[in-house]
Amino acid sequence: MRIVNSSSARKSNLKVVLNCLRFNGSLSASDIGALLNVPSGTVSRVSNYLLERKLIRVAKAKKNKSVGKPPIRLELNPDYALIAGLELNELSTNLLISDFKGKVLFKKSRPTTKSLDDLPLSLSELIESSVRELGLPDISLKCVGIGVSGGVSNDNQKVMWSFLPKDYELPRLLHEKLKVPVNIDNDANLAVIAEKMFGKGKTHENILCLLDRGWVGLGIYLNNQIYRGKNNAAGELLAHVSSGTNVAVGNLCRTPFIESFGLESMMRETGYIDVSKFPSRGKIIEFLSRRAEDNDSAAKNILENECIRFSEALFRLSVLFDPDLLVIAGDICSAGKLAEDNIKKMLAAKTAGISKVTPEFCFSCLEENNPVALGAAFLSIGKLTDSLIENNCV
C-alpha cells in the first residue's frame, strides 16, 4: 500500500494514513512514512489536515529512558465517534459500544425479539438506550456494525441465508431508525478480524477462527487478509441441524467439518440436565465444566466428546489450510482451561508426524467483549472513515 504525493490523490492519501493508524495504533510521522514508503513530510501534510478535523490526535507521550525529546506520535481520536457493534442471532443480541479507536466502553446482552417486524425498532431502541446509559453526550453515534450467521450479499446490504429471511434488508431498516450508516457481515468473518486486530492473532499471518454458537462457523484469514468467498460466507462448513428453536441455522454441507449442536444432542440423549433452566448456552457449558472438574462422570463424558468434535474439525482444517494459529471463540470457551487443554492435547496427537509444525491453538481471549461485536465495530470504523472521505465530509 503506497501513498501518492499528489494533490489529485488527496482522498487516497487520507485513507491510507487513517488505515495505517487504525491497524497499527499510535505512530510518529516517520513511522507512518516508513510503513507507507514515503517521506515523512508528505505524511505530515496529510496528518495536519486530519488533526484540524479532529479525526486524529497527538497521542500521550510514553515514558522514554533515552536522552532527548521523544517524537510526536499520532493516533485515531477516540472521542471522534461512538460505534455500535452487534452480534445478532435467533437466541441472543449482544451489543457493545466502542470509541473511534475500537476500545469497548459499554456492553449489554438480551434475548433477540421473536418478531421480525419488531426487530429494527428493538435494535434501534437497544442501541439508543445504551448510548444514553453510557453518558457521553458530547460524542455521537456515527456507525453501526452487525454480525449474523450465514451469508450476506457482496454489497453488505441484504441477508442471503441465515435465521433471517433471504433478502432481508436489516441495514436499510436500521438506518431509517438511527440515521447513521449500518453494515452487516458474517459473524465468523468478524470474529477472525477481531482475533487478528485485538487477540492472539496480532503476530500471525494465517489464522482460522471457529465460532461456536451451537452451529459452527469458520473465519479464514490467510496471507494477512480475510478470505470471504461467495456471499461473504467462506467458512460456513456446517451440517443442516435445527437449533431446537424451529429455525434452520446452517446450510447442508456434503462433508461437514463439524456437526452442529453436538453437545445438545448428547444432553438430549442422556437426559443429563434440563437446559430450559439456564439463561444461555454458555451458562450450560460453564455448568458442565464445573461438574466435570468435580469428577461427575456424565459431565466429563459430554465435554470430552465435545473436545473430540472440535479437535477433529481443527485437525482437518489445519491439514487443508496450514494455518499459523487456530482459535476457538464462542460458547465452548465457557468450559475454560479444562476443555482448552484437552483440545490442545488431542490436536497435537492428531497432527504429530503429519504437519511439519503443529499450529498454535487457543481459546479466544476476547470472549469478555464478544469477538463478533468487536470485529463488527472495528470494520465499521474503517467503512465510516472511507465514507466520510469519499463524500467530502472531512
Specify whether 248 is located in the same domain as 358. Answer: yes
pLDDT interval class at 365 (50, 70, 90): very high
Q: Are residue 227 and residue 157 in the same domain, yes or no?
A: no
Say if 328 falls within a structural domain.
yes
* Under 8 Å between Cβ of 223 and 206: yes
Least confident of 114-128, 183-197, 247-261: 247-261
**Could you tell me which residue, 379 or 7, shows the higher pLDDT?**
379
Angle at 134 between CA 389 and CA 104, to 5 degrees: 60
Q: Are 36 and 110 in a shared domain? A: no
- Residues 179 and 87 placed together within one structural domain of the fold: yes
Do 261 and 298 lie in a common domain? Answer: yes
Span 367-392, average pLDDT: 92
pLDDT of residue 148 exceeding 60: yes
Structural domains of the chain, count: 3
- Say which range, 156-165, 315-324, 357-366, has the weakest mean pLDDT: 156-165
Q: Residue 372: beta bridge partners?
A: none
Asked if residue 161 belongs to a domain, the reply is yes
How far separated are the first and last CA of the chain, in Å rounded?
Answer: 22
Q: Would you say residue 194 lies in a domain?
A: no
Looking at every residue in the chain, the average pLDDT score rounds to 87
**Type and span of the H or E element at 144:** strand 141-148
Answer whether residue 142 shows pLDDT above 90.
yes
Residues 143 and 24 in one domain: no
Q: Which of 76, 104, 127 is the last residue of a domain?
A: 76
Residue 110 C-alpha cell reads as 438480551
Asked if residue 100 is part of any domain, the answer here is yes
Q: What's the rounded Cα separation, in Å, for the pair 161 and 182?
A: 19
- Could you tell me if 348 and 375 lie in one domain? no
Q: How confident is the model at residue 392 (pLDDT cuts 50, 70, 90)?
A: confident
- In-domain check, residue 143: yes
Q: For position 153, which CATH number holds?
A: 3.30.420.40
Helix axes 40-52, 29-36, angle to 10 degrees: 120
Flag whether 57 is in a domain: yes
Q: 127 with 262, same domain?
A: no
Tell whether 232 and 102 lie within a shared domain. Answer: no
Instruction: Extract long-range pairs of 61-67: CB within 8 Å, 24+ residues apart.
Output: none
In a shared domain, residues 259 and 323: yes
The CATH number linked to 37 is: 1.10.10.10
Q: What is the mean predicted confidence (pLDDT) over 286-290? A: 93
If asked whether residues 71 and 87 sit together in one domain, one would say no
Last residue in a domain, options 25, 51, 76: 76
Per-residue pLDDT reduced to its tens digit, 161-173: 788 888 899 999 9
Q: Is residue 140 part of a domain?
A: yes
By mean pLDDT, which of 78-87, 241-250, 380-389 is the weakest? 241-250
In a domain, 152, yes or no: yes
| Same-domain status, 205 and 350 | yes
Cα 29 from Cα 39, distance rounded (Å): 9
Mean pLDDT of 231-235: 74
Q: How far apart are CA 70 and CA 59, in angstroms?
A: 12
pLDDT level of residue 265 (50, 70, 90 thresholds): confident
For 190-211, what is each residue's pLDDT tens digit?
999 999 999 999 999 999 999 9
In which domain, by residue range, is 54 found?
A: 7-76
What is the predicted pLDDT for the residue at 236? 63
